[in-house]
């Protein structure tokens, strides 16, 4: 816990390693099924329920400004999710999900997704309610379907809907956990190879958005090899070789007039991204997975550097960033799962602020894909110390962090 921190030397890393293997094997016994329970009502009506858990332990160097060989130790309850979905008509479905979004501060169960779905054919479908805003693959994966446990903690800057964990109307929030209230038209063509999503959302509430302008979001993807198969317009960071050979390139864009800044100093927000996923199943059944992402964010029509330095309003990122990772899934099983070592590099280059980056290396112990996985990682960089501070005075040193993460889902 954060109120029971104590010092830790690098030698503790070696004490963690035997426990990783034992805990990974123990996690294997808890996995009995790959999906939540589905209750069939009749030929067109059904209800499905499920749950997800992500919890971790992290030891971080100098995270509280201490000097010398001092480490913080934290146990974190990252996510507790309950899933409910169903179909009430041949073409009409619904989805309702919750998450404990403030588990680290005691915990409150809040609405994550509430979606009404009209799904008529593969080409044109409509979702309305609270859902993921079309964006780069990282956002469309969400934490449970990403290749890396630390995808968000050490990743590129957030989209507006992910900038604040809670939805507010005071000019500091444009959604929560990548979700926002709106509507999305989505579909696929050419045997599912071309996939699109076009969305309209509330975006920033209050503050700089004095005219209640909507946020417009689009994502277009093309599958050169096997067509990816996911619910709606969502994505995955890896398929562990179960999706065949995958090579997908996508671009996305978000724009909102008055989507950044303050009431007295508003700016128009634009976020453009490009991402790529390549996954190749080798002749020995090993799997290589490569993920890449590039972001270019801009703010026009106002929002001066002086306002950003003052820390007011909706201080969105402006500049460039990229994120690259590579991993290899060994075909051999060790105990109940397979090891998947990986490396990753993230670089963030804000306009008018200091650059920041992070190097990461680790391994996943994959028991049942995204449903049961244990991850051990080491990160070095100044992403954590500088955080979301994109002002000209942002500063912070490079530190190390070790994380052991558990993910279970049914």
Mean pLDDT score, 312-316: 86
The Cα–Cα gap between 358 and 36 comes to: 36
Task: Give the pLDDT score at 350.
Answer: 95
User: What are the Cα distances from residue 72, in Å, to 10, 31, 153, 311, 375?
Assistant: 12, 31, 17, 28, 19
User: What are the Cα distances from residue 313, in Å, to 44, 212, 296?
Assistant: 48, 16, 21
pLDDT in tens, 249-307: 999 999 999 999 999 999 999 999 999 999 999 999 999 999 999 999 999 988 887 78
User: What are the Cα distances from residue 356, in Å, to 196, 362, 395?
Assistant: 32, 20, 9
Please state the domain count of the chain. 1
Task: Give the pLDDT score at 287.
Answer: 98
Reduce the DSSP state of residue 379 to 3 states and report it: strand
Task: Give the pLDDT score at 63.
Answer: 53
Reduce the DSSP state of residue 173 to 3 states and report it: coil
Task: Give the pLDDT score at 69.
Answer: 64
Task: Give the pLDDT score at 311.
Answer: 76
CB 13 within 8 A of CB 361: no
Q: Burial level of 225, CB count in 10 A (0-12/13-18/19+)?
A: middle
What are the helix and strand counts (H, E) for the chain?
4, 17
Residue 403 has pLDDT above 60, yes or no: yes
Instruction: Decide: pTM greater than 0.85.
Output: yes
The dihedral region occupied by 388, where left means phi > 0, alpha psi between -120 and 50, and beta the remainder, is alpha
User: What are the Cα distances from residue 395, in Å, to 347, 348, 353, 356, 382?
Assistant: 15, 14, 9, 9, 9
pLDDT in tens, 209-220: 999 999 999 999
pLDDT in tens, 6-39: 333 334 433 443 343 333 333 333 333 335 789 9
Q: Burial level of 160, CB count in 10 A (0-12/13-18/19+)?
A: buried
Which secondary structure element, helix H or strand E, spans residue 292, and what is its range?
strand 287-300
- For residue 3, how many other CB atoms are within 10 A of its CB? 4
User: What are the Cα distances from residue 363, in Å, to 78, 121, 396?
Assistant: 19, 40, 27
Helical H segments across 126-197, by residue range: 137-141
State which residues form the domain around 211: 2-409
Task: Give the pLDDT score at 388.
Answer: 86
Mean pLDDT rounded to a whole number for the chain: 89
- For residue 130, how many other CB atoms are within 10 A of its CB? 23
Residue 60: HSE in the Cβ half-sphere, 13 Å Cα cutoff: 24
SS3 letters across 3-38: HHCCCCCCHHHHHHHHHHHHHHHHHHHHCCCCCCEE
Q: Which of 222, 227, 216, 215 is CA-nearest to residue 196?
A: 222
Mean pLDDT score, 302-330: 89
CB 48 within 8 A of CB 56: no
What is the DSSP secondary-structure string of 208-264?
T-TT-PPEEEEEEEEESSSPP--STT---S--TTTT-SEEEEEEEEEEEEEEEE-SS
- For residue 295, how many other CB atoms are within 10 A of its CB? 25
Provide the CATH number for the domain around residue 79.
2.40.160.10
pLDDT in tens, 143-197: 999 999 999 988 999 999 998 888 999 999 999 999 999 999 999 999 999 999 9
How far is it between the farthest Cα atoms of the chain?
A: 66
What is the DSSP secondary-structure string of 295-342?
EEEEEES---HHHHHHT-SB----EEEEEEEEEEE-SS-BTTBEEEEE
Strand stretches in 63-137, DSSP E: 71-89, 92-100, 109-119, 125-132
User: Looking at per-residue confidence, does 307 or 121 come out higher?
Assistant: 121
Give me the percent of the chain exceeding a pLDDT of 90: 75
At a CB cut-off of 8 Å and minimum separation 6, what does 333 contact? none
């Amino acid at each position: 816990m954060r109120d029971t921190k104590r010092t830790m030397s690098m030698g503790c890393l070696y004490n963690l390693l035997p426990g990783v293997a034992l805990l990974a094997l123990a996690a294997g016994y808890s996995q009995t099924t790959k999906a939540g329970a589905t209750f069939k009502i009749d030929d067109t009506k059904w209800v499905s329920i499920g749950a997800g858990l992500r919890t971790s332990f992290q030891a971080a160097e100098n995270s509280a400004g201490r000097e010398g060989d001092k480490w913080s130790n934290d146990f974190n309850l990252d996510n507790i999710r309950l899933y409910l979905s169903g179909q009430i008509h041949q073409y009409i479905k619904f989805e309702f999900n919750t998450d404990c979004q403030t588990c680290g501060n005691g915990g409150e169960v809040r609405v994550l997704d509430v979606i009404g779905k009209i799904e008529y054919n593969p080409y044109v479908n409509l979702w309305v309610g609270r859902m993921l805003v079309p964006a780069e693959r990282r956002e469309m994966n969400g934490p449970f379907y990403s290749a890396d446990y630390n995808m968000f903690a050490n990743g590129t800057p957030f989209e507006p809907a992910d900038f604040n964990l809670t939805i507010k109307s005071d000019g500091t929030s444009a959604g929560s956990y990548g979700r926002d209230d709106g509507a999305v038209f989505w579909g696929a063509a050419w045997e599912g190879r071309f996939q699109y999503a076009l969305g309209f959302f509330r975006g920033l509430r209050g503050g700089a958005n004095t005219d209640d302008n909507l946020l417009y979001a689009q994502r277009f993807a093309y599958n050169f090899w096997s067509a990816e198969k996911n619910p709606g317009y969502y994505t995955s960071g890896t398929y562990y070789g179960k999706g065949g050979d995958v090579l997908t390139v996508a671009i996305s864009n978000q724009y909102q007039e008055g989507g950044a800044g303050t009431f007295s100093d508003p700016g128009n927000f634009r976020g453009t991204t490009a991402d790529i996923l390549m996954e190749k199943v080798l002749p020995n059944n090993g799997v290589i997975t490569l993920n890449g992402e590039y972001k270019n964010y801009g703010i026009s029509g106002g929002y001066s550097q002086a306002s950003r330095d003052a820390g007011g309003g909706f201080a969105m990122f402006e500049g460039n960033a990229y994120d690259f990772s590579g991993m290899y899934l060994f075909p051999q099983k060790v105990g109940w799962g397979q090891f998947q070592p990986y490396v990753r590099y993230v670089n963030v280059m804000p306009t008018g602020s200091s650059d920041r980056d992070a190097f990461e290396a680790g391994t996943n112990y994959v028991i049942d894909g995204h449903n049961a996985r244990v991850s051990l990682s080491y990160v070095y960089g100044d992403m954590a110390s500088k955080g979301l501070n994109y002002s000209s005075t942002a500063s912070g040193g490079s530190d190390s962090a070790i994380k052991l993460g558990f993910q279970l889902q049914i």
